[in-house]
Amino acid sequence: MTKTTNIHRLEHICNEVRKRICVGEYADGQALYEEKLAKEFEVSRTPIRQVLHRLALERFVETKSGIGTLIIPTDRVSFKDDQNILVKTLTMMANLSPTSINADDRIELAALLHMSKILVEDFSVNTYWNVCYRYNYLIREKIRHDLMRDTTHILFCRLYRWLLVSFTPEKVEFLTQTLLNELQQANELVETEDNASSLLLLRANAILALSN
């Protein structure tokens, strides 16, 4: 494999393991084993070790001597901290000349709006995660500052992990309807604006409302 291929492979594994943590496929406190993951993803233990180290830095897992790598439990305090940091970061980035909205962004937002309408009628955790992940990735790419872009991405994932901890019919209705309303507003915004500032502020306000 080339160096670029290895990097992409590593990124794919990291995204997949992170997603499994966020949607609850891996339970709080569950141990992750390098050998098992290496076999599943058909790689050596070295890239798996790199993935777990990265996820530890992102505070999704922790390594305990004599025990191994464990999923860090979610808690409301961490959620509120992540929420506040993310809202402030998006607000700040909106004022620092974000990149422009392009044709691909408009196509993606229209597709996400369509998917969110389906979610209202037929909810699934994985579909909800995928829609939010793609939407958040689009928002992330509007941020010019590399470090803040990466930080924002991790905060998005941590935030949505907490939201996906447990479900009631009322919570499902709230999450799906909130997402639908936001994507409707986002599509209306990009019809008349090329600057992404308003889109970042819309996302910040929506995230602030998630715990209300």
- Are 161 and 185 members of one domain? yes
- Looking at 45, 71, 97, the residue that finishes a domain is 71
Same domain, 54 and 94: no
Q: Are residues 11 and 63 in the same domain?
A: yes
For residue 210 the two structure tokens come to 């998630």
Total-model pTM: 0.90
CATH number of residue 49's parent domain: 1.10.10.10
| Longest CA pairwise span in the chain (Å) | 58
Instruction: List for the chain the helix, strand, coil content (%; round to 5).
Output: 70, 5, 25
- Tell me, yes or no, whether 15 and 37 share the same domain: yes
Helix axes 197-209, 125-140, angle to 10 degrees: 140
Predicted confidence band at 212 (pLDDT cuts at 50, 70, 90)? Answer: low
The conformational region for residue 28 under phi > 0 = left, psi -120 to 50 = alpha, else beta, is beta
CA atoms of 49 and 60, how far apart (whole Å)? 14
Residue where one domain finishes, among candidates 37, 71, 105: 71
63 and 150 fall within a common domain: no
Looking at 53, 71, 89, the residue that finishes a domain is 71
CB 193 within 8 A of CB 98: no
pLDDT at 23: 94
pLDDT at res. 3: 58
Average pLDDT of span 87-97: 93
Q: What is the pLDDT of residue 172?
A: 93
Q: Are residues 54 and 150 in the same domain?
A: no
Tens digit of each residue's pLDDT (9 = 90 or more) over 31-88: 999 999 999 999 999 999 999 999 999 999 999 888 889 999 988 778 999 999 999 9
Distance CA(70)–CA(56), nearest Å, equals 9
Q: What angle do CA 88, 89, 91 make, to 5 degrees?
A: 65
CB 93, CB 148: distance < 8 Å: yes
In this predicted structure, what is the pLDDT of residue 2?
Answer: 63
Whether residue 144 is found in the same domain as residue 98: yes
Percent of all residues in the chain with a pLDDT value above 70, rounded to a whole number: 98
| Residues 138 and 33 grouped into a single domain | no
pLDDT given at position 8: 87
- What pLDDT shows up at residue 114? 98
Task: Tell me the per-residue pLDDT of 114-156, one tens digit each, with 9 for 90 and over.
Answer: 999 999 999 999 999 999 999 999 999 999 999 999 999 999 9
Same structural domain, 204 and 166: yes
pLDDT at 4 over 70: no
Provide the domain count of the chain: 2
Please report the pLDDT score of residue 137 as a whole number.
95
- Structure confidence by residue, pLDDT tens digits, 99-116: 999 999 999 999 999 999
Do 90 and 67 sit in the same domain of this protein? no
Using alpha carbons, list the distances in angstroms from residue 112 to 42, 118, 186, 199.
32, 10, 10, 15
Query: What whole-number distance in Å separates Cα of residue 98 and Cα of residue 133?
Result: 19
Strands 31-32 and 68-71: antiparallel
Q: Does 67 share its domain with 83?
A: no
Q: Give residue 199's domain range.
A: 76-209
* Residue 115 sits in the same domain as residue 190: yes
Answer with the residue of higher pLDDT: 127 or 166. 127
